[in-house]
Chains A and B, each alone.
Chain A
Amino acid sequence: QKEVEQNSGPLSVPEGAIASLNCTYSDRVSQSFFWYRQYSGKSPELIMSIYSNGDKEDGRFTAQLNKASQYVSLLIRDSQPSDSATYLCAVNSYTSGTYKYIFGTGTRLKVLA
């Protein structure tokens, strides 16, 4: 089992719809969770971080964390073609005396105009 799993997609949604991206992780002691966006040929950029259970909203983005079920999700409301990119989930945990910062392989999102 991979430590951080994401569906590779592509996930296609029409413009204006809600895009839902999901991520599961295996390490129960994971403490902090991040969503990065990566446009083709560019470097990843942080869009959301979440540390406690529940929802965190920032503009059109909402991150949801459920530690009991070990998943974190990202909702993008009113999706725009400019949101088309690969979304990477990252999980940070401290186990066996070292830090681990693990990225998933990413979900490719296509927003159709």
Chain B
Amino acid sequence: DAGVIQSPRHEVTEMGQEVTLRCKPISGHNSLFWYRQTMMRGLELLIYFNNNVPIDDSGMPEDRFSAKMPNASFSTLKIQPSEPRDSAVYFCASSLSTGVVYNEQFFGPGTRLTVL
């Protein structure tokens, strides 16, 4: 298996621009997670999906952030408009949930976002 795939790996944009991050989870996994990591705040869960349905988006910092999962093999995280404080590494992870237990998560390589 190719693992979790994220694109782009690096993104440099100017303040005010729209940014779209993409993720392809591991085939067969039914849960998908979006994280943001910074030195100051560590690894923060933004939103997660179970069977393509958003379960908890309480970590999404504000309305500028939105996420979709139109099918089991694709998800996007969009920031519009972007701000310099959005600069971070964004990780996508997937796992196989069984009943009430979420199993280990497998992380993609991350997208390093820089907003100038």
State the A residues within 8 Å of B (CB).
31-32, 34, 42-46, 49, 88, 90, 92, 94, 98-106
Tell me which of A94, A98, A101 contacts B105 (CB under 8 A).
A101
Asked, given contacts A99-B55, A101-B33, whether A43 binds B108 with beta carbons under 8 Å apart, the answer is yes
Closest to B33 in A: A101
The stretch of B16-24, B40-48, B65-73, B75-83 in contact with A is B40-48
Contacts of A103 in B (CB 8 A): 35, 42-43, 45
Asked, given contacts A43-B108, A43-B110, whether A99 binds B100 with beta carbons under 8 Å apart, the answer is yes
Count of B interface residues, CB-CB < 8 Å = 22
State the B residues within 8 Å of A (CB).
33, 35, 42-43, 45, 48, 50, 55-56, 91, 97, 100-110
- The majority secondary structure among interface residues of chain A is strand
